[in-house]
Amino acid sequence: MCRRCPTAVSGVAAILLCSIYLVGPICQAGAMVTRSGNTVTVPSDSVIDDDMAVSGNLVRVGGRINGDLAAAGGTVVSEGSILGDLLAAGGNVTVRDTVGGSLRVVAGNAEVTSRIGRSATIFAGTILLEPGGSIVRNASLAGGEVTVLGPVGRDLTISAGQAAVGGTVGGSLTARVDRLTLLPEARVQGDLDVFGAQPPEISPEAKIIGRIRYHPVSEMAHGSLPQAPSILSRIANWAGRWLLQATGLFLLSILALTLAPRGFSGVAASLRRDVGRSALYGFAEIAAVPAAALMLMLTIVGIPVALTMLALYGAVLLLAETVIADRVGAWVLHRCFRRYAQAPASSYLRLCAGSLAVALLASLPFIGGLLQCAFLLVGSGAILAAIDDSRRRWKAGRHQAVAAKGEPHPAN
């Protein structure tokens, strides 16, 4: 299982590019610096006074980023200082210079050789924290093979097939592993808790200030301790939830397309024309509708209006991801299959591919919730933008009809 982790994670990272392509225009609307291409290089003398998003087959970012950096590609190398957070996805991810905020990585192979100013969350096939690297706060590392040679300021949590720790851990160390080795340089200021099939291998020179607790799998199976689920069972449960969510989204999308084909096409066209406008509408809706409904409920007369408003609000949020599925599905098919680069795919095929991709992104650990919020924001905004476009067209047609009759224009 662990040998397959890099391939599986690389596939997840590739699907992440769909999300970056979708939300890229939103970032652009918010003055974020964006760059994409086969090879993307940010020179070492560059200074970016804003957030930045880059994607490509080979991504190499130097200089200084005075904000957050989001990077995705086959190979991602961060060798410039980043004032904010770093979010990276790719086959191989290397962090060589200081990150002032937090680090979030999904990759086939991940290597950190620099200082991380806050916490780090890494999901990869192989993970290496070099002696020159450090994590100031907590670290959560999950992968097939994990090696920690640099210091972690607070708690360290590891989920892996094999793990080796040779650095200083300022808090407790919790490991759910098949095999854990504490090297001579290891220092654990708190407790050591190991869940696994065999006891940890602790060097005589290693120092553990707190208690050492080993929870063997055999004891947990007999009920003395809660059994920690295996990596295989966790992946199986995750895959089941992903497919169930994708099936539900696909069926809902088909229902929306069948009952209102013109409306569905209009919303998709609105999203395709201007993603930034859809995001703006979505933000206004999510911020204003609950507050307005709450104010209306303060009066007896306003309660029915508030309930109607909330019902429509829920319907819009329910349908939001169907529009995103159509957009993402069209992009995936266009990029992955040559035949669809010449002629567009059918609506049902787009929705099927998009539902799988959107559900996969939403089920990713650590960042799935944020991506799903972005989908709801943009999708619901696209629905409102399409309604507003329809209203404007109706008003323009009405004015034209009145002008044709030679009558004054009605009041707006």
Kindly state whether residues 278 and 174 are assigned to the same domain: no
Distance CA 88, CA 94 (A): 9
Q: Average the pLDDT over 163-169 and give the result.
A: 96
**Considering only CA atoms, which of 354, 343, 334, 339 is closest in space to residue 256?**
354
Kindly state whether residues 163 and 273 are assigned to the same domain: no
Query: Residue 412: inside a domain, yes or no?
Result: no
Query: Residue 410: inside a domain, yes or no?
Result: no
Domain end call among 221, 253, 281? 221
Q: For residue 356, what are the domain limits?
A: 232-405
Kindly state whether residues 215 and 239 are assigned to the same domain: no
Kindly state whether residues 267 and 193 are assigned to the same domain: no
Query: Residue 227: inside a domain, yes or no?
Result: no
Which three-class secondary structure state does DSSP give residue 318?
Answer: helix
Instruction: For 300-321, write each residue's pLDDT tens digit.
Output: 877 888 888 888 888 888 888 8
Contact between 174 and 158 (Cβ < 8 Å): yes
Kindly state whether residues 336 and 357 are assigned to the same domain: yes
Kindly state whether residues 134 and 241 are assigned to the same domain: no
Domain end call among 221, 242, 258? 221
Kindly state whether residues 176 and 308 are assigned to the same domain: no
Is pLDDT of 63 > 60? yes
Instruction: For 120-141, write each residue's pLDDT tens digit.
Output: 999 888 999 999 999 999 999 9
Query: Residue 292: inside a domain, yes or no?
Result: yes
Q: How far is CA 200 from CA 3, 140, 146, in A?
A: 21, 19, 14
Kindly state whether residues 175 and 139 are assigned to the same domain: yes
Kindly state whether residues 207 and 307 are assigned to the same domain: no
Identify the residue with better confidence: 105 or 288: 105
Kindly state whether residues 392 and 276 are assigned to the same domain: yes
Query: Residue 303: inside a domain, yes or no?
Result: yes
Distance CA 185, CA 163 (A): 15
Distance CA 161, CA 173 (A): 16
Domain end call among 221, 255, 272? 221
Is pLDDT of 6 > 70? no
**Considering only CA atoms, which of 159, 89, 143, 148 is closest in space to residue 116?**
148
Kindly state whether residues 206 and 247 are assigned to the same domain: no
Q: How far is CA 43 from CA 61, 235, 343, 386, in A?
A: 7, 39, 39, 41
Beta carbons within 8 Å of 409's beta carbon, 6+ residues apart: 399, 402, 403
DSSP 353: H
Contact between 43 and 5 (Cβ < 8 Å): no
Is pLDDT of 250 > 70? yes
Query: Residue 107: inside a domain, yes or no?
Result: yes
Distance CA 109, CA 107 (A): 5
Distance CA 402, CA 212 (A): 84
The β-bridge partners of 115 are: 134
Count of domains forming the chain: 2
Query: Residue 129: inside a domain, yes or no?
Result: yes
Kindly state whether residues 274 and 247 are assigned to the same domain: yes
pLDDT band with cut points at 50, 70 and 90 for residue 172? very high
Query: Residue 226: inside a domain, yes or no?
Result: no
Q: Average the pLDDT over 84-103 and give the result.
A: 92
